[in-house]
Amino acid sequence: MNLIIISALSGVVMMFSGLFVKNNRTISYIATALIIFLSLATMCELGAKSWFNIPQAEAMLRTSVYGKLIGVILTIATTFYFVLSGKDIERVGKHVADYYALMFFVLAGAGILLSFQNLLMLFLGVEILTIPLFILTGAQKQNLKSNEASLKYFLMGAFSTGIMLMGIVLIYGAMGSFDLSVIGKKAQFATPIHGANLMGLLLLLASMAFKVSAAPFHFWTPDVYDGAPTVFTSFMATIVKVAAVVAFIRLFEGSMEPFHTSKWQILVSILIACTLLVGNITAVFQQSVKRMLAYSSISQAGYMLFAVFAFNAFGKEGITIYGLSYSLATIGIFSVLSKMQDITFDGFNGLARQYPGIAFALTVFVLSLAGIPLTGGFLGKFYMISAGAASNSSYTWLFILAILCAAVSVYYYFRIIQAMYFKERVSDTPVFEVPVSKAFPILLIVVAALIILIGINPQILLQYLYF
Amino acid sequence: MYLLDALSTPAQYLPIAIQFAFGVLFVAGMIAISHFLGPKRNTSDKLDTFESGIEQIGNARQPMAIKYFLVAILFVLFDVEVIFFYPYALNFKSLGWEGFAAVCMFVTFFFAGFFYIYKKGALKWED
């Protein structure tokens, strides 16, 4: 509850601070202070009780330890995002305070998605999560690509929300309740599964797959991520995506358990295989790093979906590690990318000579995304695949495919390292549009150190799951 | 029981299917009949876009002021908020001081929103 209430209030505070504070830097400082307070609040909730005791909301929202831990991860990732990319958010347009406000509202939506107990709250959370994103995507009003991306995202998002509502309606028709636990109980006795219920589940699966941009529902992702201002792409590809995946798990985990027959795993395994193949193979052909990261985010979603395939403790632990390490690494890369002149691979040429600190941190991020041992990304992938193997070991082809796709991803991720260390800079144009501050490389290295820390000792994160 | 329990076998959906087919055929048939039977005398005036009898001027695809839209949407927002007062007025006595405090809070939020749009310049008519 702390996350939902305090982030919504922070959003309102940011809106009003835009009226009174004219200096963009000050607005960024206010936002950073609020997000640090928000992370502390979520940590307090994880350690002790919530500050807000609202028993009436129990039927709608029920926080679990897992949801609280993911909330902490999301707010910590957002804190790093604000600190690393604050200056880039200021450069997007005139309404800086409003951008921050919208991002706080997104966090409120994420908070609802982490704790919903009722299908209506799922719908509400998804809406609160995505509507600010439509606006953020179109934040560069003069940029035609940004406008196009925003419209595309809005139309597609509206359709997928419609599909979700149809699914909810069908499930309500078959089960007579929106409450997840009631649905779960009734479904245990309803064999064979009611046709309407099955259809509803399929529609919900399709719309949630759209939200996490799993293939074949991924077509909006590259265009939207490419068209949106680079800083906001970073936010969408990380924090929003992790929240959506956790909502996906929460929706199908406990209440829908009776449906987890062998057929369910066939369906999800096809989804995962498509996502991994499309994401990785298309990313190989990209010239723009931004677009490559959009496809890479599709493929990373494929790994995260293993938790939906497995529904076991391994999967949950895996999402915890994966969520944090993937978010931090991607936020780090995007924070560099959004400062750069040239966002193709060539733009990275010779970066290591001019900025060794930044190049080192970027290398760690890239290694983590590719899943090289000692980084958090490796453990994340390891946990996800072993979660799948633990739940049903007969899907050997899927696990081999996942490992092969990780090998393919090494190719396009390492092109960044190759450009930074082994290529000479030909043109005289500076690497960055704006001069980077002295603190920026240090911050990046701190984030990189955090990723390695998770990779070496995941228990510092996982112990909170078993308080 | 539940809404969809009555319809559980495919055969029971047959009336619905017939109704669907009838609906589609009826509409398509009506359009086709009027297309074949109706007289057609096309003049340049008739082929013009109908603009309530006024001759059309220029292209419709040009930028237009968003002020009207903004004022209209703000009106709708505050109009809907006022609707919440009606149930409160009916239950004024039974809700007591607690209800009064809740409505005061509501009005505070309401005014905060009004203050926000005023400060943002949404109500400024002249540029």
pLDDT at A434: 86
Spatial separation of the C-alpha atoms in residues A171 and A194, rounded to whole Å: 9
Give the nearest partner residue to B4 out of A12, A16, A196, using CB atoms: A196
Give the list of residues 6+ apart from residue A365 with CB closer than 8 angstroms, or none: A328, A329, A330, A332, A333, A447, A448, A451
Question: What confidence tens digit (pLDDT) does each residue in A311-360 have?
Answer: 888 888 999 999 999 999 999 999 999 999 888 898 898 888 889 999 99
What is the percentage of chain A residues whose pLDDT exceeds 70? 97
Whether residues A173 and B4 touch (CB distance < 8 A) is answered with: yes
Average pLDDT estimate for A204-208: 92
pLDDT of residue B12: 75
Q: What is the mean pLDDT of chain A?
A: 91
The whole-angstrom distance between A15's CA and the closest CA on chain B is 8
Q: What is the pLDDT of residues A118-158, one digit of tens each?
A: 999 999 999 999 999 999 999 998 899 999 999 999 999 99
Does pLDDT of A217 surpass 60?
Answer: yes
pLDDT band at A265 (very low <50, low <70, confident <90, very high): confident
Nearest CA in chain A to B6: A174
Mutation target to probe the A interface, by most A beta carbons within 10 A, among B3, B13, B66, B114 is B3
* All structural domains of chain B with their residue ranges: 67-120
Predicted local confidence at residue B59, as pLDDT: 77
The pTM score is 0.88
Flag if A19 and B119 touch (Cβ within 8 Å): yes
Asked whether the beta carbons of residue A176 and residue B2 sit closer than 8 angstroms, the reply is yes
Question: What pLDDT was estimated at residue B8?
Answer: 60
Residue A59 has pLDDT above 90, yes or no: no
What pLDDT shows up at residue B54? 78
The average pLDDT across A145-173 equals: 93
- A194 pLDDT band, cuts 50/70/90, is confident
Structure tokens at A414: 């390492």
Chain A contact present for B35, CB below 8 A:
no
Q: Residue A84: pLDDT above 50? A: yes
pLDDT above 90 covers a percentage of chain A that reads 69
Concatenating the DSSP letter of every residue in A223-252 gives HHHHHS-HHHHHHIIIIIHHHHHHHHHHHH
Rg (CA), chain B: 28
Q: Does B119 touch chain A (CB under 8 A)?
A: yes
Whether the pLDDT of residue A290 is over 70: the answer is yes
Of B2, B3, B116, the CB nearest to A15: B116
What DSSP state is assigned to residue A95?
Answer: -
Tens digit of pLDDT for each residue in A353-404? 889 999 999 999 999 999 999 899 999 999 999 999 998 888 999 999 999 9
- Within 8 A of A19 by CB-CB distance, chain B residues are 116, 119-120
- Mean of pLDDT values over A74-99: 93
pLDDT of residue B1: 45
| pLDDT band per the 50, 70, 90 thresholds, residue A191 | low
pLDDT value at residue A342: 86
Set of chain B residues whose Cβ sits within 8 Å of the Cβ of A194? 4, 8
A445 neighbors A371 (Cβ within 8 angstroms) = no
Please tell me whether residue A340 adopts helix, strand or coil conformation.
strand
The residues of A whose Cβ lies within 8 A of any Cβ of B are 12, 15-16, 19, 172-176, 194-196
Tokens 């939207």, located at residue: A224
Residues A17 and A98: their CA atoms lie apart, in Å, by 9
Q: Distance (Å, rounded) from C-alpha A115 to C-alpha A107?
A: 13
Q: Is the pLDDT of residue A467 over 70?
A: no
Q: In a structure prediction context, what are the per-residue pLDDT tens digits for chain B, which is 127 residues long?
A: 455 555 566 677 788 899 999 999 999 999 999 999 988 888 887 787 777 777 777 777 777 777 888 888 888 888 888 888 889 999 888 988 999 999 999 999 888 888 998 888 888 887 6
Enter the ipTM.
0.71
Question: Which residue among B2, B112, B120 sits closest to A173, beta carbon to beta carbon?
Answer: B2
